[in-house]
Amino acid sequence: MKKISLFVAALAALTMAGTSLKVGGAIYPRYALSEKQSTFELMGAEAILQGQVTSETRDIMYAALQVYTGGIMSGWFKGIHFGEAYAMFPLGLSLPTIKVGQAVVPFGLLETYDIHTQIVQTTYVKSLGLRLDPGLGLTGVLGRTRYALWLSNGNGPDRMDNDKGKVVTARVAPGFLLGDAELTLGLSGLYGSLPYWSLDSLANFPKGPQSYAVKYRLGLDNTTDWGPLTLRLEGIAGKDSSLSHPLVLGYYAEARYALVRWLEVLGKYDGWHANGGRANNLSAGINFYPPNTTAYEVQTTYQIDMMKTGAGDESNWKFITQLVVRI
């Protein structure tokens, strides 16, 4: 609360100095049906404050604060979706922007794909163990190549570092037009101590990290807009604890096709292979975007989770329909 008060006070001071301050937000009510439950729930509700300070001729600072205001999310699940609070300081044209605070780790698709608003999720829960992490970094664009460098604690949001070990994440991503397709190819690398869950302990994920491990990660990602078809691909290879340990592998493939401007179908398949086991998710869905407003959208997804570990095989299905309301 103290942190929020300080931030709010700082933003209020900036407002009084004649700078711009915007308040927005979103709510995510949903209905979920599975073998175990049939439930209406509020996945989350958030307020988003954005502050902008400008001089006579250029932007000097941009700050954003995401405040969780309600919902069913708790523990570590809440921590991967809510709690962004950062400031950005652009140094000028063609120069990097300094980013400070609690922000999304710029690894793979996470850097450009706002999965926070989606039912489908990439593999970051299993591959990294977190999404938001406090730290300091650079981001920018050189020509048509985006780059990001992020130095962070590796302990997740709203926590101090517990081991002095920092996590370094870097990504470069050139983008180009190839015929009627626009492609972005990303190369990411990450090294450092991060929360660790084995596949058979993922059920304890909401309780937060019980242990940490040094993680080595290399990722390739691709986003392609080819007419109404949007493809998102990601491949991750890495090691946990030591380079002498067995390889861990992850992959993610998502395709969206716009039938018309207001209706889109999507399919997704991902996997994470570690500890001699694997976890996979297969999803199919349909999204509705109302024609004359961006204030809301409806997402519907049928998902099958498959887990194979030493304890045996497990499979679960779930149907989720979610309303995304932007205020």
Q: Which stretch binds another protein (CB under 8 A): 138-146, 192-200, 268-276, 309-317?
A: 138-146
**Is the dihedral angle over the CA atoms 144, 85, 222, 237 positive or is it negative?**
positive
Q: Is 121 helix (H, G, I), strand (E, B) or coil?
A: coil
For another protein, the closer of residues 160 and 260 by Cβ is 260
Residue from 56, 114, 160, 164 in contact with another protein (CB under 8 A) = 56
Q: Which residue has the tokens 């983008």?
A: 175
Question: By rule CB under 8 A, what count of residues binds another protein?
Answer: 54
Q: Contact between 148 and another protein (CB under 8 A)? A: no
Q: Contact between 70 and another protein (CB under 8 A)? A: no
CA pair distance 258, 86, nearest whole angstrom: 34
Q: How many CA atoms lie within 13 A of 164 on its CB side?
A: 0
Q: Which residue has the tokens 């991750």?
A: 236
Q: Residue 162's closest CA among 133, 203, 131?
A: 133
Q: Contact between 141 and another protein (CB under 8 A)? A: yes
Question: Which tokens sit at 261?
Answer: 């401007």
Q: Residue 60's closest CA among 48, 51, 69, 49?
A: 51
Q: Which stretch binds another protein (CB under 8 A): 77-85, 191-199, 206-214, 227-235?
A: 227-235
Q: Which stretch binds another protein (CB under 8 A): 27-35, 140-148, 160-168, 196-204?
A: 140-148
* Residue 260 identity: V
Residue from 58, 72, 241, 247 in contact with another protein (CB under 8 A) = 58
Q: Contact between 15 and another protein (CB under 8 A)? A: yes
Question: Which tokens sit at 240?
Answer: 């946990």
- Judged by the rule CB under 8 A, the positions of this chain that interact with another protein are 1, 4-5, 8-9, 11-12, 15-16, 20-24, 48-50, 52, 54-59, 62, 92-94, 140-141, 143-144, 177, 179-182, 225-228, 230, 258, 260-261, 264, 289, 291-295, 326-327
